[in-house]
Structure 1
Amino acid sequence: MQRILFVGINPNRDDHLAIIAKIIGKVEVYVINGIGNNSKKIINTQVFSWNEFISVNHIVKKLKPHSIVFFDIESYNEVLLNIYAKNQNISTYILDHGVRSFRNALEREEKETPNILPGSKVPLLEKVKNRLFILISLKFISKDDRLFFRKYIFLRKNHSSFGARRRLKDLRRLPSEYIVFSPSNLAYWQELDQFDKDQHKVSVIGFPAFDKIFKSQSTISKRVSALYVDSPFHEFNLFGWTYESKKEFVTQIILLFEELNIPLCIKLHPKSDEKLYTELKEDHTFQLVNGSSTEYLYLAEIIVGFDSSLLYPIISFSGTISFSINFHPKVLNRNLSQDFLDQGVSIAVNSFDELKQGLHNKNSILKSQEENKKAFIKKYLYKADGNSSNRLVEVLIK
């Protein structure tokens, strides 16, 4: 049976675990996740930490993978394993995750700090073990590869991850193949890793995490009137939001829909402060949903939100009108939903008065947005057929 090694699976991300679940039984699955005690169990897989191995050679000899799937190739361990594996004719992949924005990555570059080891807050002993892993692994690659790796170390110590990789255009840090979710995400990886699509193998598959949403369309008999998709800005201290300012903002959203007699449903983010909404329910009527088994919500007539990967499939649905909130306590130099605005599938609102006016004119706005959805799907979702997971399996299992 084919053996696939996944490196960097996040056991707290449902989309990562869904990928594993899709191929369990078809291949043997191994996972390297974190170092020391940071690795977590994942059902029906053999999970290891980096420090259970003494070198990249040890990993390959023990697990005998036919292919290795990374979610990125950035840490020193990942770069070394990628180099060694390709030298052993083992196929390596970078598997996309989430909606990618090169513009957002540029803005984050100055905020990033050097990251030498995988994981954070690692005990000193585990760090020492990992450095030994790196030193021993260097013995199993060529002199030229060692020179490249030392150059990468120098750049990574002095620049952000983003800055280092853009300053080092070298195929040795790149996988054999990229598996990306959309043409837009592909553009992100091309800019970040400096490769030409025509000179590097790429498979575009769509978003496996959205398959369930797209397949649910045919089974939904009743549409939700209005859906507000929450973003955890105050929870992460972003854009000047506080508990008080967010509570006031959400209150105004609820009052507006109450005034227009439009039933409102609020979909919480996993990190949302549910206490805030529980307090609001004492004085207002709205449906509050917190969880993933809520496909019926996504076929809403009206969508209001800021920036969330969940908005991409929802906005693509026919008959759905979208409003992108563009006002925060702290003034921003751009709209967080710029992708939607550029494609003409959402309209920016800069105040509650503008949102109210838009809701009064929703029929004409919907008509203009409908005309742009086909192009939006092609660029940002690739396909909305619910078969992205199947395409992923076809790429990985050969």
Structure 2
Amino acid sequence: KKRYLLVWPTVRKDWIRVFEGLSDEFDFTFLPSTFPKEPNHADSFDCYYWSEFNSAQEILSKIQPDGIIFMSIESGLSMALNHVAKKQSIKTLILQHGIFTNYKDYRNREKLWRKRSLSAEVKQEQTSKSFSTLRFVRNSLPGLGAFEVAKIAVYSKLQQSFGPYWVARNFPLNLKKASHYLCFSPYNAKIHKETDRIDESQIAYIGCQELIPYLKEETNLIEEDFYLHIDQALAENSLGEETVPKSNMIDFYLKLNDFSLSKGAKLYIKLHPESYNSDWLPQHANITYLRQVDNFNRIVQSARGCFGFYSTMIIPAVYWKPTILFKIQYSGLQEAIDNIGGVTILDFWNFKSDDILLVDNQAEKDIIKRQFILPDGVDQHTLKNLLNG
């Protein structure tokens, strides 16, 4: 079996699922963070941490991978590993997670995020535990010279100040370019072309492994009348990606509940994993909060209608049900869905519960499937075949 090193966070179960499904075909080893973090949803796999090594060469010597799969290449650590691996003719891959959109979308969001303060917290943790990113990079890249190593340090500083997407677009670095990019569809590849300036020959399309199961029609549906809201952790999350005050989110949930009550139906809210432990969510007898569920596809197809923002999981909702999306700011995904037609988009900040009107003019399923889930010429085995190639 081929062995892949996964530079991939393990704190969310949904991020691990694609590798669990391929674990019989490949040997996977995780390198998720500088130090161990909880929860670790990859505890059935071998896990190592950056702080256990002094250089990228040590990592490759220990694990001896056939390839490396990155969620992203942004940190000095991942840039060093990417560079050394390519020098050793080890292929490096960026594998998409979630529905990627365009530069405009991500740039708008990162202006609001608090990632600068979060980066400072990470640096403080590394210092307190005597791990130096700069020392690791220097050890890994002895042939590059002080100037090139300094470029990585400056690049990382700029990311903290302006955001990774802005820096990637305005200061392209070959050190952060992977050998190949595994994207769900041409729509999802746009961000990589805009930031890393790659061409079509470096991209392979694999379909969205997370969403392919949602193409199946469910038969044993839930009989209770309910509307489903697919939530995002917009007011509180550990990644610093916060865009909406908690008070506005509470008002939003209650408006959806007022609408549901007016229709004699329950309101189900599928929480984002980052919100599972939130203690500020409004409590009401008509609201049911969903956390881990065994078959979310069944819940989507059982709903009378769906609500959402711009997360990956709105795609099954739009595919199966009349859906209303709420616009907080510009969203590339909402723009793309609106261009297809068949959904209603309301202003998050100003809508009233009376404005909600769910109609049956659903989006064309075949277009949704090809643009976001399975493009032409791709099936559920494409990723496995590419990794075996």
Same fold (TM over 0.5): yes
SS in 1 for 2:21: helix
The equivalent of 1:2 in structure 2 is 2
Residue 303 of structure 1 contacts residue 321 of structure 1 at CA under 8 Å; is this kept in 2? yes
The reply on whether 1:157 has 2:157 as its aligned counterpart is yes
Residue 107 of structure 2 contacts residue 166 of structure 2 at CA under 8 Å; is this kept in 1? no
The equivalent of 2:291 in structure 1 is 290
Q: Distance in 2 between matches of 1:269 and 1:116?
A: 23
Q: Which amino acid aligns with 1:18?
A: R
How far residue 80 of structure 1 moved from its aligned partner, in angstroms, is 1.1
Residue 235 of structure 1 contacts residue 273 of structure 1 at CA under 8 Å; is this kept in 2? no
Superposition map of 1:116-131 within 5 A: 119=122, 121-124=124-127, 126-131=129-134
The reply on whether 1:391 has 2:388 as its aligned counterpart is no
The equivalent of 1:258 in structure 2 is 261
The reply on whether 1:192 has 2:195 as its aligned counterpart is yes
Q: Distance in 1 between matches of 2:226 and 2:43?
A: 38
Change (3 A) 1:395 1:118: farther
Q: Distance in 2 between matches of 1:177 and 1:386?
A: 17
The reply on whether 1:91 has 2:91 as its aligned counterpart is yes
The reply on whether 1:346 has 2:343 as its aligned counterpart is yes
Q: Distance in 2 between matches of 1:208 and 1:85?
A: 26
Aligned length: 372
Q: Which amino acid aligns with 2:355?
A: L
Q: Distance in 2 between matches of 1:24 and 1:227?
A: 33
SS in 2 for 1:209: coil
* CA deviation string 1:126-181 (max 9, x = no partner): 45444322221122x456xx754543433332353223322333544211110112
How far residue 117 of structure 1 moved from its aligned partner, in angstroms, is 9.7
SS in 2 for 1:189: helix
Residue 227 of structure 1 contacts residue 266 of structure 1 at CA under 8 Å; is this kept in 2? yes
Q: Percent identity?
A: 19
Change (3 A) 1:272 1:345: farther
- Stretch moving more, 55-64 or 259-268: 259-268
SS in 2 for 1:42: coil
SS in 2 for 1:16: helix
How far residue 387 of structure 1 moved from its aligned partner, in angstroms, is 5.4
* CA deviation string 1:216-258 (max 9, x = no partner): x244445765322234444469555434x54444333223233
Q: Distance in 2 between matches of 1:79 and 1:29?
A: 20
How far residue 42 of structure 1 moved from its aligned partner, in angstroms, is 2.5
For the pair shown, the structure with the greater C-alpha radius of gyration is 1
Superposition map of 1:1-398 within 5 A: 1-7=1-7, 9-38=8-37, 40=40, 42-102=42-102, 103-110=104-111, 113=116, 119=122, 121-124=124-127, 126-139=129-142, 141=143, 148-159=148-159, 160-197=163-200, 200-215=201-216, 217-221=217-221, 226-235=227-236, 241-243=245-247, 245-270=248-273, 271=275, 279-281=283-285, 285=286, 287-293=288-294, 294-299=296-301, 300-317=303-320, 320-326=321-327, 332=329, 337-350=334-347, 351-352=351-352, 355-356=355-356, 358-359=357-358, 362=359, 366-367=360-361, 369-370=362-363, 372-383=364-375, 388=380, 390-398=381-389
Residue 101 of structure 2 contacts residue 188 of structure 2 at CA under 8 Å; is this kept in 1? yes
Residue 70 of structure 1 contacts residue 95 of structure 1 at CA under 8 Å; is this kept in 2? yes
Which one has a larger percent helix, Structure 1 or Structure 2? 1
Residue 231 of structure 2 contacts residue 270 of structure 2 at CA under 8 Å; is this kept in 1? yes
How far residue 77 of structure 1 moved from its aligned partner, in angstroms, is 1.2
Change (3 A) 1:166 1:115: farther
Q: Distance in 1 between matches of 2:110 and 2:222?
A: 44
Change (3 A) 1:4 1:272: closer
Residue 105 of structure 2 contacts residue 332 of structure 2 at CA under 8 Å; is this kept in 1? no
Change (3 A) 1:275 1:166: closer
Q: Which amino acid aligns with 1:106?
A: R
Q: Which amino acid aligns with 1:295?
A: N
Residue 324 of structure 1 contacts residue 348 of structure 1 at CA under 8 Å; is this kept in 2? yes
- Stretch moving more, 58-67 or 373-382: 373-382
Where in structure 2 are there 5+ consecutive unaligned residues?
none
